[in-house]
Structure 1
Amino acid sequence: MLVLDIGEVAERSGVPPSTLRYYEEIGLISSRGRHGLRRQFDADVLLKLSLVGMGKAAGFSLAEIAAVFGQDGRPELPRDQLRARASELQRQILELRMLRDVLRHVADCPAPSHLECPTFRKLMQAAPRRSLVYHPSRERKAGGGKIARRR
């Protein structure tokens, strides 16, 4: 079996060595040992890292991703959770498409006031109500909730 050192794994996967060490510490991946001071991994770690990356991109926590890997390190896919997450992503895609359409219309609309534009009004009525609810946690993630002022 092909063996890769931590630098090769980092280069091939795009995952920094510090993250690889952390993933090993929490049990997401495992090395087969060391050659000198450098950790050595079986080549199949690259596939596992791809699954971790996909899970993170889909919004799963590292703990949720770790639970997918059984005791033997093989994935035990929680199909119901994956279906639920796919449905949530589909809802987000629809909301983002609507937001994209509104922004494009606002940018290109020739009406003197958008409030007078019938297309804009239809788009605003169709906008999902959920996105209009204030979420302080979203504000903190987006920069502390402070509004920049022009001077």
Structure 2
Amino acid sequence: MTDLDIAEVARRTGVPPSTLRYYEERGLIASTGRRGLRRQFDPGVLERLGLIALGRSAGFSIAEMTRMFTPLGRPEIDRRVLAARADEIDRTIRELTAVRDSLRHAAECPAPSHLECPTFRRLVRTAAAGASRAAPRPALPRRRRAAEAG
């Protein structure tokens, strides 16, 4: 298969050319050269971009992925790091499930006031206890901090 033009890579992956250039600057991907002014990429870049997308959806920062990926070689991903991230996602799922259940119950509870509902009060106590026992959370990636601040 021949090299792919940056526009073709963007079209196939949905990743904007500006992001592809940024990933290249950070060492996550490498172009094979240029045809005119346009960067060319080996077709293997599509799989690598899939790995980057998976890493981003798992909450890995660009800096973390840069440490895992070598520019031309296969990613060297520490399995302990993956297990730790999976554990973090499990904790988040449990927390969000409790929040979802509380909201659904509050929306459907026939009690005159939510605070008069024993089930809702138990959910609130459980959430409060979980919040006080929760381990310190790692710093959020910059994009999440900015979104939460705004």
Q: TM (normalized to structure 2)? A: 0.85
What residue ranges of structure 2 are gaps of 5+ in the alignment? 135-139
C-alpha deviation, 1:81, in angstroms: 0.6
C-alpha deviation, 1:8, in angstroms: 0.6
Deviations 1:3-35 (A, max 9, x none): 110011001111100000111111111111111
C-alpha deviation, 1:2, in angstroms: 3.0
Matches within 5 A, 1:1-151: 1-70=1-70, 72-127=72-127, 128-130=130-132, 141-144=147-150
Structure 1 pair 119–139 and aligned structure 2 pair: CA distance change class (3 A): farther
Structure 1 pair 28–83 and aligned structure 2 pair: CA distance change class (3 A): same
Counterpart of 1:121, as a letter, is R
Structure with the larger helix share: 2
> How many residues matched?
141
Q: TM (normalized to structure 1)? A: 0.84
Helix, strand or coil at the partner of 2:89: helix
Counterpart of 1:120, as a letter, is F
> Once the two structures are aligned, what percentage of the paired residues are identical?
59
Cα distance in 2 between the residues matched to 1:143 and 1:129: 21
Helix, strand or coil at the partner of 2:40: strand
What residue ranges of structure 1 are gaps of 5+ in the alignment? 145-151
